[in-house]
Structure 1
């Protein structure tokens, strides 16, 4: 019997195999996305936002132990990439993940880490 993790990987592998080869523009876009995600602080911000659904900058900063300015800078990069969207409510800006693939990508990454740790012990 396969586990949910292996089922997800199998489905993803089959879907990927059906796609056309990546052209240079698509590869460049994918590289830009991975560069934005390849930052420990941004990953922590995304995880905090995903867990809550939506958070204001101050609460995100408290959750990850960063200054509001540093959080705002990182959130802007992810907003520019189309991963997040912001809404204003008075003086507060609330952020939520709008790219439906990002939560699954985070979960898959965490799954990979846990699986590697399990195998190494």
Structure 2
């Protein structure tokens, strides 16, 4: 799985998906790897906590999501390794931040899809 470049512009202008050629197997596999890393309730909660807290250190994140620091550290490492998060050392603390706002928008769109599906399910159940 390819690592995302750090410190790049937020979702640089690209051709709309409908105007792009069909994904090749290699690119589809890389994209699936990104979604696989994001397909973790724990990592999604950590990403949302990062949005809410801004630039927290690991212990602040652990407290916010009510997890042990070592467990949080392991999850953050996966996100850093993929290039989704960046780290910054401040004294003895390591602070984390989301590299690209596209990740935040992707989460927002996912929540919107989920809310719409729930609303539709309630309508269908009535």
| TM-based fold match above 0.5 | yes
Q: After TM superposition, where is structure 1 displaced by more than 6 Å over at least 4 residues in a row?
A: none
Shift of 1:16: 1.2
8 Å Cα contact 1:60/1:71 also seen in 2: yes
* Alignment partners' CA distance in 1, 2:52 and 2:26: 33
Shift of 1:105: 0.6
User: Does residue 70 of the first structure (1) align with residue 71 of the second (2)?
Assistant: yes
User: Does residue 20 of the first structure (1) align with residue 21 of the second (2)?
Assistant: yes
1 or 2 for the larger relative contact order (CA 8 Å, sep ≥6)? 2
Shift of 1:63: 0.8
Q: How many residues align?
A: 108
* Alignment partners' CA distance in 2, 1:120 and 1:22: 32
List gaps (5 residues or longer) in structure 1.
1-13
Shift of 1:36: 0.4
User: Does residue 35 of the first structure (1) align with residue 30 of the second (2)?
Assistant: no
What per-residue deviation string (whole Å, max 9, x for no partner) do you get for residues 46-94 of structure 1? 0000122211101100111111100010000000111000011011110
**RMSD between aligned residues:** 1.2
Structure 1 counterpart of 2:86: 85
- TM-score (norm: length of structure 2): 0.81
- TM-score (norm: length of structure 1): 0.84
